[in-house]
Structure 1
Amino acid sequence: MKLVRYKTRETSEEHLGLEWENDVLDILRLSRHLNTSVPHTMDDLLENSTHSINQIDETLDRAENLSVKTNNYLIPASELIYLPLIMRPEKILCVGMNYVEHIKATGGEVPTSPVFFNKFSNTLAAHRQTIPLQANAQHADYEAELVIVIGKEVNNVCEKNAEDAILGYTVGNDLSERAFQFQSSQWLIGKSMDHFAPIGPALVTKNEIKSVQDLTIETRRNGNLVQNSSTSDMLFSVAKIVSEASQYMTLKPGDLIFTGTPRGVILEQPKDKQKWLKAGDQIEISIESLGTLSNTFI
């Protein structure tokens, strides 16, 4: 299941839909026709994600059994406005230095446990949202990342059971202002500028993913391939990251965990070849089975 949070150009009301090939299925309108119940918003879904997903599945099954044509409930993706998948996560955690080749390229030390830092909700942005670069953001860099979406409250979970806490995954860009990031030993200000954590376009439930540790991940800058890797290059697996984080804090539904970026970021280039992000640049990040997140900078 590929869940999308969106609004239409005619209304500011939030909708929850399903990515349906190149369109989005208005699951609420379909459920009203069929007299079934589905979550109205992503927040509703997160209150009990297992039950909510079962409701959506039951609605789709009922439509099929009654030969209801879902085509009548589709909205072309080009006609809607994507919203950040999660509006108010309690936590946005990020893992640094988690791809082997990226560590080599930056000359960093290999960590012995996941290196956590955080972003705030002000950083969230949506698929196709334009992202303003503040005047003082002179060294902005892209970072393609697999993002974990937590669906169940857990604390002190073992690695073996960590997957139970995961609702699904999405594509993220851990945008970084490098001069600010390395101003001190704390990376916070370089990571937390407004709209510096776009995610989307869809939240893909974990049952859709055959092997999360073997997904291709690519970044294109203005059409040119700049990152080309696989989640198999991760130093710490998704399960390890979730388990480790839960040793220190309770993870809750809607929490987001960015899992690190592969080789190919601007920071790795020699100083005389570092061409930082600028107005007019378009960054497209594609992760196998998850889709493509696209943002343009202004």
Structure 2
Amino acid sequence: MFSVSFVRSLNAKACLRRVGNLQQQRWNSTEVPYTAIHKPVMLQQVLDHMAPRSGGIYCDLTFGDGGYTKALLDSCDCKVYAIDQDPTAYEKALQLADLDAYRGRLFPLLGRFGQVTKLVCDLNVPKFDGMVMDIGVSSGQLETASRGFSYKLDGPLDMRMFSRGQGMEPKKQEETALLARSISAYEVVNFYSREQLADIIYQYGGDRLSRKIATAIVTARQKEPFQTTSELAAVIQKACPQPRWQRGDDDMVRNSAARTFQAIRIYVNDEVI
């Protein structure tokens, strides 16, 4: 169904390429109706690789703040189907699609990138001339404490990319459907067995101390269930303290919770397809 030029934004070789200036055309919009927090670090390299052309049809599998989508639309008279399971990102895509410069060329879709075939099967898309994805959590998600992604900020144990966060009700039927079929980090941390937690932490976080961390979590939750990200981070850091290290003038401590939070997030969102 697809003719795919698949690009990962973390291609190390592309980092060495010279960054050029994106040629803006008459159909571009220099401003968007929202504040973009996350900016792609390898935007020009991705565009050079994809070489978008007028009349082409492209897919941004992880819309986020729209960095890749907007750049593709600004580079030529093409169309972009933008997918994201984050409802706030989806709303941003809808706002962008409503601008005169992009109306009829940008088609937002709420859902997971692993469901791309299902999402576009009824849209009569003949093929995609290119696809791009920026896998992982965005700075906007990390910096919103109520979303529960960060071990540095105190928030609820959620970590679902399709959840708006603590106290925020879904606004669309598709959101409700996604939430109904999901579990949050709260369920994983408080109800999974020691063996299940250790497997998740090792498989998705690569932490060789996964069993020790899992044991600390299970022991702590016997007193009372974990409610917040800071509670979880504190237990992990206490169980597996990390040495201080020097970077420039900063005396820093590696946070033991980083890999565990990554692992739980990947598991909760089923990011490995």
TM-score range, shorter chain: under 0.3
TM-score normalised according to structure 2 size: 0.27
What TM-score does the superposition give when structure 1 sets the normalisation length? 0.25
Q: Which has more strand, going by share of residues?
A: 1
Q: Which has the higher helix share?
A: 2
Mark the structure with the bigger radius of gyration. Answer: 2
